[in-house]
Structure 1
Amino acid sequence: MKRISKVMLASVSLLAFSPTALLAQTKADAASNDEQASAEEIVVTGTSRSRISLDTPLAVSQVSAGALARAGVSSQADILNTIPTIKADGGGGEVASNVFVKGLPSGGQYQFTPLMYDGITLLSSFGLNSSAYDVYARNDLGIQRLEFVRGGVSNLFGPGSVAGLINYISKTGTDKLEGTVQLEVAEGDRYRGDVALSGPLANNLYFSVAGFYRTDKGPLRTNLDTKGGQIRGNLEYRFADGSGSVKVLGQYINDQAQFYLPIPLNGTTRERLVGNDGASVESVQNNFSSSLGFRTPTGTFSSEIDEGVKTKGGFIGLTFDKDFGDSGWALNGKFKYSDYKHKFGLWSDGDGVINVPETLQSFLTNRGLGSLANASFTFVGGGAVPANYLLFANRITDRIRPATDFTGELNLTKKLATGGIDHAITLGGFHGRASAGDYNVTTTFLAEFNNTPRLVNLTVTNPLTNVQTVVSANGLLNAGAGYVNNRHKAERLAGYLADQMKIGDRFNFDIGARIERINGDVSRERTSTVVTDASTPNLSTALRDVIWGNGGFLTGKVETTEWALAAGALYKLTDRISVYANASRGFFFPELRSAGFRPLPAGTAANASLAPGMQSYTAEIIKQGEAGIKISQPGISATASFLYTRLDNRRQVLFVNDGAGGFTERVNLVGTESYGVEATLDLKLTNALRFSGNLTVQQAKYIAFDTTPANIGKKVERQPQVLYNAGLYYDDGRFDASIFTNYTGDNFTASANTIELKGWNVANLDLGYKVPLGESSVRLSLNVYNLFDTAAVTEGSPRQDNNQTANGAFFVGRPVLPRRITGRLTYSF
C-alpha cells in the first residue's frame, strides 16, 4: 500500500468503438477532438446500438491522434504503455514490442491482444512463428485514434480475444479537402517525412491516404540503419440515402528497422559497462553480414543481419455496412488479403554457453583451449588484441518469415422492441486462413566488448604437438549453430450471437456467445550435422561441421473447438454516474509453434519424412470478471473497477538457450490467476489546462506449472504490481505543452522469481507553437523522449530465463532507450 500512496491517478476519458461495426464511426469521429474524448461521445460496442460510454458495461480506452503523436516517438510500446492494464517493453526499438496484459503469462509480442487497423487484424492467427504483429505495419498521420476494448460482448466478434482488442482507427474523407505535411528531425540522424490527405473525389465518394519515409541511424549507434516507409489509404462510397457505405482499404510497406537486444551490464548496479575503449557500452551490435558466411550442404549461406526487421508487402481490404430502411435489419462485413515478405534479424544476448564478457584467458579456460601463451587473438582486418581486453561471444539469427493471410467477417444485425426492452441483435461469423514460414539460421561469432565492436580471430596451438586449431575465422565461432525450417498454417472458423439490450431509461444488459474451430497444419524439417568444409586445414569442429536441414519433414494436423460466453450489465445511478459489471468465459488457441509431435518409432532414420501424430492440442481457458463505476461531471471524469482473471491450460512458449549454443522453443503448461484494481481520472483545471492519467494495481501468480511445480504460487514474470500514467496538458489554441510520465513497477525477470528488476519512470516533454495561416496552420514542436534519461532495465535475458543468475560480475539486461530530442514542422490545411 505504500507504493499505492505514491501513485498519482489520472486518465484519458474513454470512448468505445467496436472493431466489428462501423455504423456510428462517422458520428463518433465528428464528435471527437484531437486531445480528449468526451464521456458523452457516441460509442459503438460491437452491435448495432450506439451508446455513450456511461451506458456501456465494459472498459474501453481511447488514445487520440494528438496523444499518439506525443507518445509514439520511439515505438508502439510507448503508446500501449499509456493504456491501463498494459505493460509494453519498447527497449528493442520501433518494432516487436513485448506486450503484457492483465497479469497474463506471456513470452512477449501480442500473444493475447490482436493488433488491428480499422477492425481488420494484421494476422488472423498468432504463433505461426514468434514475430510480433507490429512488424507488418507502422503508424502514420492517417490514424484518427487508438481504441483498446477489453471485456464485454465486443471481444467475441471478429478475430475475438476476451483479453482485449487493439484497434487503430484511420481517418476517412469528408466534404472538405484536408491534409497534413510533416517534417521530423531527431538526434541520431533521424529524418522523416509524412503526408496525409483526405477529401471528396465525387458525389458521395471520399478518399484518405497517408504515407511516410524515414532514415534513422538509431538512438543507439550500431552501423545498422533503419530506413523505409509505408503508404496506406481508403476509398469510401457513402450511399446517398445515408444507409451505409462501401470502403476499399490498402497498404504497402517496404521498411527495415533495427532491433536491440539485452546487453551485459554491471552485475551489482545494473548500469552500463565501460568497454575496452573507455566508452560506455550502449550496444554490442555492428554490421557483420559480410564476414559471417559459411558453407552449407546446399551452397554458401550469407547473413543478412544488417537488414534488421524487414517487411515488404501489404494488404487490400473491403468493408461495408448497409441499413435496410425502417426494417431494423442491417448488414456489415470486412474482408482482407495480405502478403508479406518478412525477415527478422535477431541479435542475441550471448553465445548460449557463457553469455557474459570474458578476458582472453577466461575465454580460453571456459572452453578448454589452454593458456594465453599458446593462443593468437587478432582483429579481423589486422592487429593483435591487447591482453587486457574483454571479449564477448554472441549469436545472430537470420529469420526468414513470409506470411499470407485471408480474413473475412460478416454480421447481420437487427433492432427490435419486445415489451419494454429495446434489442440490438448481432449474428455473425469470422473466417481466417493464415500461413507463415519460419526459417532460422543461427551463427555464433567472437568480438571485442565495445560499441560497434570488431570481430576477432583466434588460433590456438597445442604445446605438445604444435598442431594449430582455428577456433575463430573472420570472427566466426560456430558455423550453423542452429537451423529451423518450419511452416505453419491455421484456419479459424467462428460464429457468434449477441444481444445488446436497453431496459427502461437506466438499465442496459449485454449477452453474447461465440463458438470457434481451428484447423492447423504443421511441417518441420529435420536436421543433421554435416561436414561442409573438409579442405580447410586445422578448423575446429564448430567451423567444419554445420547443423542443417536434411530434407526429411515431420508433418501433422491439429484441431479443436471451443466456446466463449460474455455478459455485462450497467445501471445509471444518476445521469452522470453509472455502475457496471461484466464477466466472460473465453479461450485462446495454443500457438501452433507449440504443438508437439508424438515420439518417433525406434530406429526411424534421421532424414525420414513421416507423420507420427500430434500430442494433445486443447484450448487455453480464460475466465474474467470486472465491476466498476463511471463518473462524468462537468470538468471531471473518472472510473474505478475491480478485475479478476484466471487462465488455465496455458501453453507458454519461451525462446531459450538449449545449453549447447543453440535455441529451443520450450513449452510450459501453466495456469495463472490475477486480481487487480484500475482507476482513471481526467480533471479540467482551467479552460486550457488538464490533468490526466490512470493507475493499475495487480497481483498475478502461477496456480499450475507442469515442468516446475515449485513455481506454483510465485508471481508471473515481467508483470509489475503497479502501473501508472500521469500528465499535465496545456493548450490555449496557439501554444501547447505537456509533460507526462509512465511508471512500471518492480517485476521479476523469470518464473523462479530469483531476480527482481526495480520499477522505473520514463518522462516525456512535448512543446508546440501553432501559427494560423487563414484556414491553415503551421505548428513547430519539440518532443523529448525519456526527459531525465532514465537508465533502468526493462528485462533480463529472456534466452537464459531461469538460468540467469544475480550478484555476479555481469548482468545481461535491456536498458530503457536513452533520451532523444525530436523537432517537427507540421503544416495542416
Structure 2
Amino acid sequence: MNYAKSSRSMRSMLLAGAVIVAPVPAFAQVATPADPVAPAADQSTEQDGEIVVTGTSAARRARDTPLSVSTLDAAQLQRTAASSQADILNTVPSIKAEGGGGEVAVNVFIKGLPLGGTYQLTPLQYDGIPVLSSFGLNSSAYDVYYRNDLGIERLEFVRGGVSNLFGSGSVAGLINYISKTGHDTTQGDAQIEWAERGRVRGDVAMSGPLSKDAGLYYAVSGYYRYDDGPIRTGLPTKGGQIRGNIRKDLSDGSGSVTLFGQYINDRVQFYLPSPLDGTTRKRVPGNDGRDVNSLLTDAVSGLGFNRPGGRFQTQIADGVYTNGGQVALAFTKDLGEGWGLNGKAKYSQYAHRFGFFLDGDGLANVPQTQAGFLALRGLPSNATFTYADDNSAVPGNAILFANRFQDRIRPNHDVSAEINLTKEATTGDFRHNFTLGYYFANAWARDNTITTAYLGAFNNQPRLINLTVRDAAGNPTIISNGGLLDAGVGYTNNTAKQSHYAVYLADQIEADRLVFDFGGRLEWSDGHIARAATSTTITDATTPNLSTALRNVVWENGTVVRGKVSAMSWALSAGVLYKLTPSLNVYANANRGFFFPALNSVSINAAGLTQSYQPEIIRQAEVGLKYGAGRITASLSGFYNDLKNRRTVLLVNGTGGSVVEQVTIVSTKAYGLEGVLGVRLLDHLRFDGNVSLVHDEFTALDITPQFIGNKEPRQPNVLYNAGLYYDDGAIDASMATTYTGPNYTDNSNAIRLDGFNTVRLVAGYKLPLGSGRQAVRLGVDVYNLFDSQGISEGSPRQVAQTVGTYFVGRPILPRRVSVKLSLSF
C-alpha cells in the first residue's frame, strides 16, 4: 500500500468533511465546577447542578439520565492519576483496569464482557472525538496515542442506554475526556513532580482570551517527564505531549467553532509478566540473591541480524514509541426556531512502535538450569556458557532465562467526521430533542512484527549469554551469539484499512417527572486486509559454525495475500426515567447493539477468500435507582448482557517459540449489581465508595467447548472502591482503597488469582497567594501504600497455563512516593 498516497487522500477527505459540516461541540463549553472534596466516580459534585452530555441528545444532569454515568472532575483526575489510565478507570463501577504494565496499554475489562484486554469495547475519546476509529487493525491500545494532562476538565464514562447511537458509538461504554477551554479571564496551572526511583515530570496548562471583542479564546496544555521506572530496567521512560484548542464564539451568540490540536513524542517502557514462586506467587531471587522484579534489559538494544535487503537492528530500547498528532475541527450552531446543527471532524497520523518483551521463550517460559536448557533443546551437554559483554565464564550454578522480544512497527492514520441536525419541539407536556446524525470514519494501520529470541541470566537487567556446544567429534556449533538465540522466531507484515458509515436517529423526551430516550442506528463497515507471505532465507553463509536458527531468517518474500470484508448491522436503544420524588429517580434501559469483528481476526486463504464476516450481537438491559438529597448521593442498579459470536484475538505461544494470533469465537452472558454511595460526613469530610458484583460465564466456545459454563478469565466477581476525602481549602487529605476480587488466568479456570487491595494516600497544603484562584500547593502522594503484592494476570501467551516451581504472572506495581508542587494562577 502507498502510505504517502493514502495519507494525502485522508487529508483531502478531512478537508472535504470540514467544508461540508463547516466546524466544537456544545458539551465542551460547559464546565462543571469542582467540589472542594474530590469525589469518587458517579458522585454528583453539585447534587442538582452537574451536567453530563456524552451519549445524549442535549445536556442534562446525570441523575436525570436513564443510563449509567460516572464522572470525575479535574481535581479528582489530578489526584487520582499516578501512572496510567488504570488509576482513574479503576475507580469506575464495574471496570477492572490492569495497570501493571506501566503508563500505557492498560487492559480494560467491563461488566463480564469477553475481552483480550486494552480498549476493545470501550473507545477512548477526547472532546467526543475518537482517538482511533477502528480497533483491531493491530492490537495497540488507544492510550498509546493520547495522554492526560492538566488541561482536562472532567471525565465522563457513559454506558448502556442510547450511548451506542451517537458518533462512533459503543454499547459497552464511552470513555470521554473533556478539555478545558478559554474564558474571559486568563488562568493557568503548573506542576512539578518528583518521585522515588528517578521520576521527574513537569506539567503546565493555560487558558484565556485571545480577543474578547472577537470572541476568540484559547487553551493549551502539555507535559514532559523522565522516569527510570517504578521498576528499574535500565530502559528509561521519557518524552512529552502538547495539545490545545482555539474557540471562536459566534458574534450573535448562536454557537462556536473550535480547532483542536495535539502533538506527542514519547517513549514508555512496558512491563510483562515474569516468573514468580509457584506456591506463594511472590518474587523469587535471581543469581545474585536479589528478588527479580523485571527481566527487561538494555543489553538487548544492540541485537540485530542480516535479513533480505539489508540488516535489521532492534529498537526495543525505545519501548512504546509514539510520534505524531491529531487535528480536529468542531462546531455548534443554533439555527433558530428549535433547529440546531453540530459536528466535528478530525485527522490523525502517528509513527508508532511497540517494543514488547515477552514472558518466556515459548518453550520453557521459566528459569532453567544450564543442563535443563540444553536437554529441552536436545543439545549436547558439552557446552560453554560465557557472558556476552566480557566473554567471562558463566558460573555452573547460574540459572538461565531464555526470552523473546518483539519490534512491533505500527504506523497509522485515521479520519473521522460526524454531523448532527437537532430539533427541539414541544407536544403537550413533553419536550423533544431530536437528533439526526451521520458518521464516517476511515482508518489505516500497519502491523509489522519481528520476534527475536535471546539468552540471558536470571537477574534484574539480565546480562546476555553466549553458548557454544560441541558434538562427540568436538565440532562446535554456536547456539547463542552475543546473546542472540534465534534471528527469525517469527515475522508478520500486515496492513488493514477499515471504513465505517452510520446514520442514526434519536429522540430525548422530557416532561416534569418523565424522561424517555429512544433511538436507532444503522451502520456499514468495509475492510481491506493485506498480509505478506513469508519464507526462510539463509542470510549469513559466511560466519562459521552458526546454528540453523542464527543462519536462517524468516522474512517476507514479496507475495501479498489480500482480502475484503463488509458487513451491516443495526442498533436499537430505549430508556425511561421516572422522578418518584424530588430526590429519588428510578430508571431502566435496554438495547440491542453490535460490534464488527476486528480485522486482525479474519482469516484469508491463498486465493484471497475470507471467512464469513458477521456482526457480533450484544443485548443489554439495566434497571436502577438514583438518589440525591442533603448530604447523601447514591445509586443502585442491576444489569444483564449477552454477547453472541465474539471473535477474541489473543497473542499466544506457537510452535518453536513463535507468537501467533489465536482467534476464538465465544458467546457469553453476565449479570450483576452496581452500588454507589457518597456521604458528606462533615462540612469538609466526605466518604465515597462503590461496589460491583458480577457473574459471568461462557455460553459457547468453538475451540474448547469443554469450558462452556466456566468464568471468563481475568474477570473478578467483586470490585469495590472506598475512600475518605478531606478538604477545608487549605489542607486536603484522602485515603482510598481499590479492591480487585479473585479471578482466573485462562478459560480452563484451573488457576485462580487471589484478590488484592491497593491503597492510595494523598495529602497536601494549599497556600493562597492573592485574590481569586492564585495559590501554591505542596502535596505528597503514596501509591500502593502498603506495597500490596497482588497479581493482575498470569501469562496471556500460555493458553493453558500450568504451575510448577514457578508461576508466570504480572504483579501490580510496587509502592511509590511522589511529591508534587503545584501553582494555580
CA distance in 1: counterparts of 2:85 and 2:164, whole angstroms: 22
Structure 2 residues without counterparts, runs of 5 or longer: 1-22, 40-44
The alignment partner of 2:802 has SS state of: coil
Match of 1:510 among 517, 523, 536: 517
Match of 1:197 among 206, 212, 233: 206
Q: Which residue identity is paired with 2:502?
A: A
CA distance in 1: counterparts of 2:557 and 2:198, whole angstroms: 45
Q: Which residue identity is paired with 2:473?
A: T
Aligned residue number for residue 165 of structure 1: 174
Q: 2:564·2:610 contact (CA, 8 Å) conserved in 1?
A: yes
Match of 2:546 among 501, 518, 539: 539
1:73 aligns with 2:94: no
CA distance in 2: counterparts of 1:222 and 1:27, whole angstroms: 44
Matches within 5 A, 1:305-704: 305-325=316-336, 327-371=337-381, 373-462=382-471, 464-503=472-511, 505-598=512-605, 600=606, 611-704=607-700
Q: 2:24·2:257 contact (CA, 8 Å) conserved in 1?
A: no
Q: What is the CA distance between 1:45 and its match in structure 2? A: 5.1
In structure 2, relative to structure 1, the CA distance for the partners of 1:369 and 1:114 (3 Å cut) is same
CA distance in 1: counterparts of 2:30 and 2:86, whole angstroms: 29
CA distance in 1: counterparts of 2:24 and 2:672, whole angstroms: 30
Q: What is the CA distance between 1:65 and its match in structure 2? A: 1.4
Match of 2:785 among 784, 787, 793: 787
Q: 1:471·1:543 contact (CA, 8 Å) conserved in 2?
A: yes
- Give CA deviations for 1:450-495 in whole Å, capped at 9, x if unaligned: 0011000000111x21111100000000012110100000000001
CA distance in 2: counterparts of 1:172 and 1:117, whole angstroms: 13
Q: Which residue identity is paired with 1:510?
A: D
Q: Which residue identity is paired with 1:61?
A: S
Q: Which residue identity is paired with 2:306?
A: R
Aligned residue number for residue 35 of structure 1: 38
Q: 1:28·1:43 contact (CA, 8 Å) conserved in 2?
A: no
Match of 2:282 among 271, 293, 301: 271
Q: Which residue identity is paired with 1:141?
A: L
Q: Which residue identity is paired with 1:767?
A: A
Per the normalisation by structure 1, the TM-score is 0.94
Q: Which residue identity is paired with 1:137?
A: Y
Q: Which residue identity is paired with 1:328?
A: G
Q: What is the CA distance between 1:298 and its match in structure 2? A: 1.6
Aligned residue number for residue 280 of structure 1: 291
The alignment partner of 2:156 has SS state of: strand
Match of 1:255 among 259, 263, 266: 266
Q: 1:21·1:46 contact (CA, 8 Å) conserved in 2?
A: no
The alignment partner of 2:437 has SS state of: strand
Q: Which residue identity is paired with 2:791?
A: V
Q: Which residue identity is paired with 2:64?
A: D
CA distance in 2: counterparts of 1:632 and 1:24, whole angstroms: 23
Q: What is the CA distance between 1:306 and its match in structure 2? A: 0.1
CA distance in 2: counterparts of 1:748 and 1:42, whole angstroms: 39
CA distance in 2: counterparts of 1:595 and 1:378, whole angstroms: 44
Q: What is the CA distance between 1:38 and its match in structure 2? A: 2.2
CA distance in 1: counterparts of 2:383 and 2:239, whole angstroms: 48
Match of 2:754 among 758, 761, 772: 758
Q: Which residue identity is paired with 2:603?
A: G
Q: Which residue identity is paired with 1:322?
A: K
Q: What is the CA distance between 1:792 and its match in structure 2? A: 1.2
1:225 aligns with 2:232: no
CA distance in 1: counterparts of 2:468 and 2:438, whole angstroms: 64
CA distance in 1: counterparts of 2:799 and 2:272, whole angstroms: 14
The alignment partner of 1:288 has SS state of: helix
CA distance in 2: counterparts of 1:23 and 1:195, whole angstroms: 25
- Give CA deviations for 1:673-707 in whole Å, capped at 9, x if unaligned: 00110000010000100000111000110000011
The alignment partner of 1:574 has SS state of: coil
Q: 2:37·2:686 contact (CA, 8 Å) conserved in 1?
A: no
Q: Which residue identity is paired with 1:805?
A: T
Q: What is the CA distance between 1:32 and its match in structure 2? A: 6.5
Q: 2:24·2:331 contact (CA, 8 Å) conserved in 1?
A: no
CA distance in 1: counterparts of 2:579 and 2:517, whole angstroms: 15
Match of 2:147 among 138, 144, 157: 138
Aligned residue number for residue 821 of structure 2: 825
Q: What is the CA distance between 1:83 and its match in structure 2? A: 0.5
Aligned residue number for residue 19 of structure 2: none
Q: 2:24·2:259 contact (CA, 8 Å) conserved in 1?
A: no
CA distance in 2: counterparts of 1:817 and 1:163, whole angstroms: 27
Q: Which residue identity is paired with 2:810?
A: R
CA distance in 1: counterparts of 2:777 and 2:701, whole angstroms: 54
CA distance in 1: counterparts of 2:541 and 2:28, whole angstroms: 66
Q: 1:48·1:414 contact (CA, 8 Å) conserved in 2?
A: no
- Give CA deviations for 1:181-210 in whole Å, capped at 9, x if unaligned: 111111111111111000011021110000
Q: Which residue identity is paired with 1:285?
A: L
Q: What is the CA distance between 1:289 and its match in structure 2? A: 4.1
CA distance in 2: counterparts of 1:798 and 1:31, whole angstroms: 40
Match of 1:809 among 805, 808, 812: 805
Per the normalisation by structure 2, the TM-score is 0.95
Q: What is the CA distance between 1:558 and its match in structure 2? A: 0.4
- Give CA deviations for 1:253-294 in whole Å, capped at 9, x if unaligned: 000100000000001100001010011100011113443211
In structure 2, relative to structure 1, the CA distance for the partners of 1:783 and 1:699 (3 Å cut) is same
Which stretch shifts more, 120-129 or 31-40?
A: 31-40
- Give CA deviations for 1:130-159 in whole Å, capped at 9, x if unaligned: 000000011100001111000111331111
Q: What is the CA distance between 1:672 and its match in structure 2? A: 0.3
1:732 aligns with 2:715: no
The alignment partner of 2:79 has SS state of: helix
CA distance in 2: counterparts of 1:794 and 1:50, whole angstroms: 38
Aligned residue number for residue 104 of structure 1: 113
The alignment partner of 1:224 has SS state of: coil
Q: 2:670·2:695 contact (CA, 8 Å) conserved in 1?
A: yes
CA distance in 1: counterparts of 2:47 and 2:191, whole angstroms: 31
CA distance in 2: counterparts of 1:22 and 1:576, whole angstroms: 30
Q: 2:319·2:355 contact (CA, 8 Å) conserved in 1?
A: yes
Aligned residue number for residue 129 of structure 1: 138
The alignment partner of 1:123 has SS state of: coil
- Give CA deviations for 1:59-110 in whole Å, capped at 9, x if unaligned: 1001121221222111111111110111010000000001111101111110
CA distance in 2: counterparts of 1:169 and 1:27, whole angstroms: 10
The alignment partner of 2:302 has SS state of: coil
Q: 1:116·1:168 contact (CA, 8 Å) conserved in 2?
A: yes
The alignment partner of 1:362 has SS state of: helix
The alignment partner of 2:60 has SS state of: strand
The alignment partner of 2:609 has SS state of: coil
Q: Which residue identity is paired with 2:347?
A: Y
Q: What is the CA distance between 1:379 and its match in structure 2? A: 4.0
Q: Which residue identity is paired with 1:512?
A: G
The alignment partner of 2:191 has SS state of: strand
**Residues paired across the two proteins, number:** 793
Q: Which residue identity is paired with 2:498?
A: A
- Give CA deviations for 1:512-535 in whole Å, capped at 9, x if unaligned: 100100000000001111111111
Q: 1:288·1:305 contact (CA, 8 Å) conserved in 2?
A: no
